[in-house]
Amino acid sequence: NAGVMQNPRHLVRRRGQEARLRCSPMKGHSHVYWYRQLPEEGLKFMVYLQKENIIDESGMPKERFSAEFPKEGPSILRIQQVVRGDSAAYFCASSQNGQGGNSPLHFGNGTRLTVT
């Protein structure tokens, strides 16, 4: 059973370009979470999605960042007009269900975004 797949593993963008990060959850998982880890810092929650719905976006920056999890295909984290401060590792996690707290999140190995 394949784990959470993220691509690309490394992404380099110039300031002002767009970055698109993809996440395919584990088979049978319908809940997706995105986290960001700045260099030498901890993991920060960004957004929690179910198929076609954003459930909790309390950690998303108000501008330039968006996320989706369509009915078909991977979840996408989109960063418009990237700036150097967006350079970080972005991790995606998935879980089987979202209620009750008894369903572990399983993480991918992340996308490392570098903005030049």
**Residue numbers of the site for other proteins (CB under 8 A)?**
4, 31, 33, 35, 42-45, 48, 55-56, 58, 89, 91, 93, 95, 98-110
CB of 83 to other proteins, least distance (A): 23
CB of 81 to other proteins, least distance (A): 27
Peptide bond before 8: cis, by omega within 30 degrees of 0? yes
CB of 109 to other proteins, least distance (A): 5
Beta carbons of 103 and 32 less than 8 angstroms apart: no
Which tokens sit at 30? Answer: 């319908």
Report the residue number, 43 or 83, with the smaller CB distance to other proteins. 43
The whole-angstrom separation of Cα 69 and Cα 115 is 25
Report the residue number, 4 or 113, with the smaller CB distance to other proteins. 4
- What is the helix (H) or strand (E) element at residue 94, kind and residue range? strand 88-95
Which tokens sit at 39? Answer: 């260099």
Report the residue number, 13 or 31, with the smaller CB distance to other proteins. 31
- Return the DSSP state at 100: T
Report the residue number, 72 or 100, with the smaller CB distance to other proteins. 100
First to last CA, the chain: 36
CB of 68 to other proteins, least distance (A): 17
